[in-house]
Amino acid sequence: MGSDSLSILTPSTKPTPLPSQEEDSANPSAALLSFDTDSSPSSSANSPHKPATTIVFISLLLTTCVALSAAVAFAFLFFSSPSGSPHPSSSSFESSARPLKNLHHPVVLLISSDGFRFGYQFKTPTPNIGRLIANGTEADMGLIPVFPTLTFPNHYSIVTGLYPSYHGIINNHFVDPHTGELFTMASHEPKWWLGEPLWETVVNHGFKAATYFWPGSEVNKGSWTCPEKFCKHYNGSVPFEERVDTVLHYFDLPSTEIPVFMTLYFEDPDHQGHQVGPDDPEITKAVARIDGLIGKLIEGLEKRGVFEDVTIIMVGDHGMVGTCDKKLIFLDDLAPWVEIPKDWVQSYTPLLAIRPPPGVEPADVVAKINEGLKSGKVENGQNLRVYLKEELPSRLHYAASDRIPPVIGLIEEGFKVEQKRTNRRECGGAHGYDNAIFSMRTIFIGHGPQFARGRKVPSFENVQIYNLVTSILNIQGAPNNGSLSFPTSVLLPPSP
C-alpha cells in the first residue's frame, strides 16, 4: 500500500490495558468492630458467667462508640478544612460535565512539555501540575507514545489520531523512496503531512484555532492557512513566559473570536535530557520551571475568570533514558557476515533503519545481520534485533508506509548503534526506542469541565487524544486510528 492512502484506517485501536491498582485493603476499622458474640456458652438466665459477659459487652460497646465518635470528628475536620486535598474518590460524586460559566463554547488548550518522562513530576515539588492532577484526570501510569518514540512522529500522532505509518511522519528525518527528497524538521510542504490535524478539523467546522509551535502547524494544508494572528512559526529562542502570555491574551478577545483549540509547546525538559540524561539535577530544574509556567498560566486564566471553563490537556511526546558510549553496537563489526555501507542507513539510533539498494534482497540482509548478532562475537549484539518491517510486532503499527525502510532494527533500552568505533566516551539521554519500554512513557493530565476531579485512568496510546478533543469540542473528527468509544471511558457525560 502507498504511504498516501488512508483507506484502511479503522477506529479499532483500544486503550492499552495495564494492571489496575490493587483494591484498597479491607477497612481496618471493620475488623476492630467485629465481635464473636457466640463464643460464650448459651445465655441461660441461670448462667454463672452472665454478669461478666454483660460487663465485657458493655465495655466493648462503649469503646466502639468512642472510636466511632472520634472517627466522625476527624472526618469532619479533614473534609471541612480548606487546605485539605481533594478526596481521591471525589470524582464519584460527579455524574456529568460541569456547565460553562464565562465561555460560550468549550475551549481546549493542548500543552506539550517535550521529553517530560512519566515520573519527572515526582522529582521536585510541582504544586501547579499537582493542582491539575488533583482536580482533574490523569493517566495513572503515564501516556504511551507511538513508535518510534520521537518528537515529530508523536506530536503529529497526538493531533491527527494516526500512527506514523498513516500520517506520513515516520521519523524526524527520512527519505522519500520515490523522489529521493529528504524530510527534515524544517519541511513544511503539505505532501509530507498526511491526515487531518486538529487545527484543520476545527477550522472545517467554522471555529478558530491557534497554534503556538507544534510540528505540522506551519503547513498550509486544506482549510488551514497558518493565519499570522493565530499561528506562530517556530522560533526556539522565544521565552517560554512570552508564549504563555500570548496564549492568555487570546482570552482577552471577544468571546466569538477566542480560538476553541490552542496549542502551547515547550522544548524542556527534552533539551536537558539529551545532554545529561534523565537523572541529573538539570532535569529537576527544568521540571520546576515547567511547573512555574503552568502556575503562570493558571493564574492568568483565573484573573480572566475562565480557568474552570477551559479544558487543559497537558502531555509530553515521549520519555527519556540514560545512554553511555559503553553501550554501543557497531555495524562494522558485522562485516564477517554482511557489510552495511553508510549510504544504506537512514537512521542509526535509537531506531535502526536500513534501505538496501535495488538488487539486494532485504530478507537476506536481515538474516545475515541477525546471524552475526546471535554469534556472540559482536559487542553488545544481543541488544539489537533486526526485522523486515512487515515482520515487526504488529503492536508497533510500523509497516504500512513505503516511507519506512524495509529493514528495521529494535535496540534495547539505553543502547545505541553507530557505524564504526570511535574514542568518544560520552553519556547523555535518548528516546525513540520501543514504546513498550516504560522509560519512554510520558504524562497525560486533563483538567476542565468534562474531566472528573481526582480520577485515575489506565494508560493509553496518544492516538486516542484526537477523538478526546473532538468530543470535548462536540465536532466531527476525521478518520483515525483511535477508538471512537474511547472518550466515553475518560470524559464525564454531558450535563442533562
Place of cell 526556539: 236
Ramachandran angles phi, psi of 92, nearest 5°: -65, -15
Q: Quick check: 142 and 444 in contact, CB under 8 A?
A: yes
Q: Quick check: 98 and 493 in contact, CB under 8 A?
A: no
Provide the residue count of the chain: 496
Question: Which residues are catalytic, by number?
Answer: 151
Tell me how many degrees the CA angle 177-183-189 measures, rounded to the nearest 5.
Answer: 105
205 HSE (CA, 13 A, CB side): 18
Q: Give the whole-angstrom CA distance, residue 379 versus residue 356.
A: 23
Q: Give the whole-angstrom CA distance, residue 316 versus residue 149.
A: 11
The closest alpha carbon to 432, from 418, 413, 448, 447, belongs to 413
Pairing of strands 231-232, 209-212: parallel
Q: Which residues of 429-454 are buried (b: 16+ CB within 10 A; e: fewer)?
A: bbbbbbbbbbbbbbbbbbbbbbbbbb
124: DSSP letter: S
Give the residues across from 347 on adjacent strands. Answer: 353
Q: How far apart are the first and last CA of the chain?
A: 46
Tell me how many degrees the CA angle 152-158-163 measures, rounded to the nearest 5.
Answer: 75
Cell of 475: 465536532
Say which residues have a Cβ less than 8 Å from residue 99's Cβ, sequence separation at least 6: 449, 495
229: DSSP letter: T
Q: Give the whole-angstrom CA distance, residue 188 versus residue 208.
A: 21
Q: Quick check: 449 and 309 in contact, CB under 8 A?
A: yes
- Reduce the DSSP state of residue 131 to 3 states and report it: helix
- 3-state helix, strand, coil split of the chain in percent (to 5) is 35, 15, 50
Sign of the alpha-carbon dihedral angle for 116, 120, 121, 125: negative
- Reduce the DSSP state of residue 285 to 3 states and report it: helix
Place of cell 469540542: 473
Q: Give the whole-angstrom CA distance, residue 364 versus residue 362.
A: 5
